[in-house]
């Protein structure tokens, strides 16, 4: 088996972008088929469990997806930085060390997780279990002198994260207009950090959120903390624009039907807001 095929059989693709531009056709197909079937794919990964791991470039801040063959036990999800037995770690592993809070797609779920690297006997036990059900992983370890890392993708507030927030995160990751359309109430209101007047209506709110998603889509944007109330959430975020660190919060309220009725954004410091305003104006003008 060639190195490329070994990498795919291991469920490793380190260059998968959300816009799918310039991708290896095989890896592109795995992601598309996973989403079309609710968690499976054919070809070299036919019959194997799959998970789509979202990760953010440690240096570039670029958002990527890696299809991986996990080991799942009692609801706990583990992935393996095998890279087909190569002597270097895959890029997604380095990215998780830099940005451990992320999301995965498992079946038809999008789940917020935090990466935890296993060590010692715990690592060895899980790797042995994976090798027992996926024998190629034993071969990968024999091929390299490095100890292949095992990472648990720990669910964050499993069963407590509101579904509307999971869907919002899914929109940020994929920029699917249909997801945003389903998320917003007809009378949704957007409160801009730069415009005093509330921006009312579903279409206007969608216009602002779509522009913001495009603006931060090519950065190291990530949520730092999340707090939930009854039909509300406060999400603290951070991103870098041209060397300027932008800190802010998204304050989201939704109705009993799970549709967002209010979305308020606050940004600091002032130079961070100054970095955002002209870019948002350009994006809004182009819509």
How do residues 71-120 score in pLDDT, each as one tens digit? 999 889 999 999 999 999 999 999 999 998 888 999 888 888 889 999 99
Q: What is the pLDDT of residue 24?
A: 53
Residue 251 · residue 225 · CB < 8 Å: no
Instruction: Give pTM, 2 decimals.
Output: 0.53
Amino acid 141: pLDDT = 98
Bridge partners for 264 per DSSP: 191, 251
Residues in Cβ contact with 128 at an 8 Å cutoff, skipping those fewer than 6 apart: none
Helix (H, G, I), strand (E, B) or coil at 222: strand
Give the pair of three-digit tokens for residue 49. 């469990």
Are both 22-155 and 163-286 of the same fold? no
- At 217-238, the pLDDT tens digits run 878 888 888 888 878 999 999 9
Q: 217 Cβ partners below 8 Å, 6+ apart? A: 18, 63, 172, 175
- The CATH H-level superfamily of 22-155 is Electron Transport, Fmn-binding Protein; Chain A (2.30.110.10)
- Report pLDDT for 151: 97
Confidence of residue 20 (pLDDT cuts 50, 70, 90): very low
* CA–CA dist 5, 72 (Å, integer): 23
pLDDT band (50, 70, 90) for residue 138: very high
Helix crossing, 136-143 with 120-133: angle to 10°? 130
Mean pLDDT within 36-40: 86
Residue 160: the pLDDT is 62
Domain boundaries, the chain: 22-155, 163-286
Residue 174 burial (CB count, 10 A) = 19
pLDDT at position 9 is 37
Location of structure tokens 């870019």: 279
Cα 173 from Cα 175, distance rounded (Å): 6
> What gap in Å lies between CA 116 and CA 154, rounded to an integer?
7
pLDDT of 13 over the 50 cut:
no
Which CATH number does the domain 163-286 belong to among 3.40.50.970, 1.10.10.10, 3.10.20.90, 3.10.450.50?
A: 3.10.450.50
What is the average pLDDT across 184-211? Answer: 95
Dihedral angle over CA of 86, 88, 93, 95, nearest 10: -140
């Amino acid at each position: 088996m060639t190195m490329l095929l070994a990498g795919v059989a291991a469920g490793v693709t380190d260059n998968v972008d959300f816009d799918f531009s310039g991708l290896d056709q095989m890896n592109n197909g795995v992601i598309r088929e996973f989403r079309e079937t609710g968690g499976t794919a054919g070809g070299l990964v036919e019959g194997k469990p799959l998970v789509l791991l979202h990760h953010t470039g440690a240096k570039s801040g670029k958002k990527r997806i890696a299809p991986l063959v996990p080991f799942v036990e009692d609801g706990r999800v583990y992935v393996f930085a095998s890279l087909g037995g190569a002597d270097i770690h895959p890029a997604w592993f380095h990215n998780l060390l830099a940005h451990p809070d992320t999301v995965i797609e498992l079946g038809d779920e999008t789940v917020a997780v935090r990466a935890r690297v296993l060590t010692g006997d715990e690592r060895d036990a899980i790797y042995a279990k994976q090798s027992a059900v996926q024998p190629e992983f034993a071969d990968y370890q024999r091929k390299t002198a490095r100890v292949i890392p095992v990472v648990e993708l720990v669910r964050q507030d499993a069963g407590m994260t509101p579904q509307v927030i999971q869907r919002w995160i899914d929109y940020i990751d994929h920029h699917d207009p249909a997801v945003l359309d389903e998320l917003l109430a007809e009378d949704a209101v957007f409160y801009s950090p730069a415009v005093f007047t509330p921006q009312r209506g579903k279409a206007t709110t969608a216009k602002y959120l779509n522009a913001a998603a495009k603006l931060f889509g090519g950065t190291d944007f990530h949520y730092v903390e999340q707090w939930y109330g009854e039909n509300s959430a406060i999400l603290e975020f951070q991103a870098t624009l041209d060397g300027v660190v932008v800190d802010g919060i998204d304050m989201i309220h939704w109705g009993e039907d799970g549709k967002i009725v209010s979305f308020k954004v606050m940004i600091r410091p002032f130079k961070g807001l100054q970095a955002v305003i002209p870019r948002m104006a350009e994006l809004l003008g182009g819509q």
